[in-house]
Amino acid sequence: MIKQFMPNEYLPSVFDLNLEDLSERRIKGIITDLDNTLVEWDRPEATPELLDWMYFVKQQGFHVTIVSNNSRERVSSFSEPTGIQFIHSAKKPMGHAFRKACRNMGLKKSEVVVIGDQVLTDVFGGNRAGFYTVLVVPVSKNDGLWTKINRGVERLVLRRLKEKGLIQWEESR
């Protein structure tokens, strides 16, 4: 059971995602979390650097969908100016939103990667739904109330994974 919380990959940020490697592995789609994955949880819009990255990702032929537990208002106000598809109120770690995003992109699970900053929602949910998962360092040390609670549990899970020798990275979370 504990292995369900283990990401396939751990990166400092979405900007470190190796798109060439993903293409070689026939990955065509990216499902990404929004808050503290792409931008700080309280930043209303994409940064210029993120907009450039999103444009580059699309130019490389990848489909991108934001899957967030946040409200329609929050996710749509961020996503619509970027032209990125989104699913709000996703109820992660439940798998429905991940599968829906995959269907909306017209892709198979094997062609999609899930990226997020939380083990309990993004990684666990992505793993349970059968996707390749990437855990990134949160872009901010500041979190909303529910995420703060999740982070406490997450630290226990990560410590357990490390004790079992499953984590090979130095944690900067």
Q: Which residues pair with 133 in a beta bridge?
A: 114
**Rounded Cα–Cα distance for residues 8 and 169 (Å):** 12
Q: Helix (H) and strand (E) counts for the chain?
A: 6, 6
Model pTM above 0.85:
yes
User: For residue 136, what are the β-bridge partners?
Assistant: 11
CATH class, range 2-163:
alpha beta
Q: Is the peptide bond before 44 cis (omega within 30 degrees of 0)?
A: no
Read off the amino acid at residue 75: V
Query: What are 148-160's pLDDT values in tens digits?
Result: 777 777 787 777 7
pLDDT in tens, 9-53: 999 999 999 999 999 999 999 999 999 999 998 898 999 999 999
Residue pLDDT, tens place only, 105-118: 999 999 999 999 99
- Choose between 169 and 52: higher pLDDT: 52
* 119 close to 99: Cβ distance less than 8 angstroms: no
